[in-house]
Amino acid sequence: MRFTCFLRKMANGSDANASAWPRPSVNTSWQSAAQVLLVTAATVALSGVTVLGNSLVLLSVKVNRRLRSVNNYFLLSLATADLLAGAVSVNVYALYAACGSWPLGPALCDLWLVVDHGVSAAAVLNLLLISLDRFFCLTRPLSYPLRRTGKMAALMIALAWLLSFALWTPAILCWQRAGGRRLVPEPECYPRLLASPAVTLGTTLPAFFLPGLAMVGLYGHVSAASRRRLSGRRRPSGDRLGTCAPSLSASPAPSSARRRVAVREKRVTRTILTILLTFILTRAPHNAMALVAAFSHVRIPDVLWQAGLWLVYVNSAVDPACYALCSPTFRSTFRRLLLCRRPDPPV
């Protein structure tokens, strides 16, 4: 969710929202030039890291057969959302910040808002799918793997993207105009639907707070189920399709097969925890400030708004590092791609 405006009391009774984008002064002082250079440098660095990292994720799944698993299809979809955020959202935001006003016209403003909010919502839903997939793998080891196919994953991913844009596209476009007249001032670009505190609450809940709480609860169940599985108190009969974690019951507890399963269990669970923590830490400040501004009518300082929004964009750059940190296969494939070497042979 991208809140690009803060709530203010307006004496004329018009929209309570106004733009919170940084606006360099129109003079040519060195402070203004330095501010533009700082925004440009930060944008180039963040966009470059985000695009490179998520491109490596996409290429890794393509060139390394060991990464072509159902759970990595969800990571692939998340990487696509993060790539779009880094390539489009970050750069357009920086252009707006450097210019001090919207320079691309109302049509491109609305298009960018739809893409920005839709991609953000798709990333959240894909994170939720990752948590749900792992939850069902561990809690329904007999029935879920039979339905956990590539086609089912593709359908769930398609529904997540469709729902994201179906919710945000009409909401943004319909609220921008009334009676054939555009209500957002021409030099501005923000979603007018956030003028209402009720709407702000209605968008922050499904965009961050409810998915965040759901993912925390799912991770708690996943962690507990994984511990039971590894301790031997619960030993499922295995995954007939090979799409979830393999059985722990086929070998004694010092056996090498069981150790490999244990390592894989812990690695997958650790990956989910890392992604979940980065999601909460990078998105919580901006969404919390939006609620405070909406219901207390407190003017949040521009620097805090901007810092919160940049944190949201940083989330898209951090996700690939989470995969590399927690997965030796991703890490080795990243390294080989960066060094222009062939990936490891499939095992």
The 3 state secondary structure assigned to 120-134 is HHHHHHHHHHHHHHH
What local confidence, expressed as pLDDT, does residue 282 receive?
Answer: 93
E strand or H helix at 279:
helix 256-296
User: How many helices, marked H, and strands, marked E, lie in the chain?
Assistant: 11, 4
How many other β-carbons are positioned within 10 Å of the β-carbon of residue 6? 25
| Residue 181 lies inside a defined structural domain of this protein | yes
| Residue 8 lies inside a defined structural domain of this protein | no
Task: Quote the CA–CA distance of 57 and 321 in Å, as a whole number.
Answer: 10
Pairing of strands 17-19, 181-182: unpaired
| Residue 345 lies inside a defined structural domain of this protein | no
What local confidence, expressed as pLDDT, does residue 244 receive?
Answer: 66
Distances in whole angstroms, Cα of residue 185 to Cα of each of 35, 64, 91: 25, 50, 22
Q: Name the residue type at position 129.
A: L
Q: How many domains does the chain have?
A: 1
Closest C-alpha to 238, from 228, 227, 250: 250
Task: Quote the CA–CA distance of 97 and 310 in Å, as a whole number.
Answer: 12
| Residue 1 lies inside a defined structural domain of this protein | no
| Residue 2 lies inside a defined structural domain of this protein | no
| Residue 343 lies inside a defined structural domain of this protein | no
pTM of the entire predicted model:
0.82
What local confidence, expressed as pLDDT, does residue 238 receive?
Answer: 37
| Residue 31 lies inside a defined structural domain of this protein | yes
How many other β-carbons are positioned within 10 Å of the β-carbon of residue 285? 16
Task: Quote the CA–CA distance of 79 and 207 in Å, as a whole number.
Answer: 18
SS (H, E, C) 285-329: HHHHHHHHHHHHCCCCCHHHHHHHHHHHHHHHHHHHHHHHHHCHH
| CATH assignment at residue 141 | 1.20.1070.10
What local confidence, expressed as pLDDT, does residue 314 receive?
Answer: 94
Opening angle at CA 176, ends 174 and 177, nearest 5: 80
Share the mean pLDDT of the chain: 79
How many other β-carbons are positioned within 10 Å of the β-carbon of residue 183? 13
Distances in whole angstroms, Cα of residue 247 to Cα of each of 52, 142, 230: 37, 11, 10
Closest C-alpha to 333, from 76, 77, 64, 82: 64
Task: Quote the CA–CA distance of 286 and 94 in Å, as a whole number.
Answer: 17
Contact 306, 289 (CB under 8 A): no
| Residue 5 lies inside a defined structural domain of this protein | no
Domain containing 263: what range?
A: 16-338
What local confidence, expressed as pLDDT, does residue 248 receive?
Answer: 39
What local confidence, expressed as pLDDT, does residue 3 receive?
Answer: 38
- Which residues lie below 8 Å from residue 119, measured CB to CB, with a gap of 6+? 81, 84, 85, 88, 89, 164
Opening angle at CA 344, ends 339 and 346, nearest 5: 155
Written as tens digits, the pLDDT of the chain (347 aa) is 443 333 332 323 334 433 333 333 333 444 577 778 888 888 899 999 999 999 999 999 999 998 988 889 999 999 999 999 999 999 998 888 888 789 999 999 999 999 999 999 999 999 999 999 988 988 888 899 889 999 999 999 999 999 999 888 888 888 888 777 888 888 888 888 766 777 778 778 888 889 999 999 998 888 887 777 767 644 443 333 334 654 434 445 467 777 777 777 777 778 888 888 999 999 999 888 888 877 787 778 878 888 888 899 999 999 998 888 788 889 999 999 999 887 655 54
Opening angle at CA 83, ends 78 and 85, nearest 5: 95
What local confidence, expressed as pLDDT, does residue 20 receive?
Answer: 37
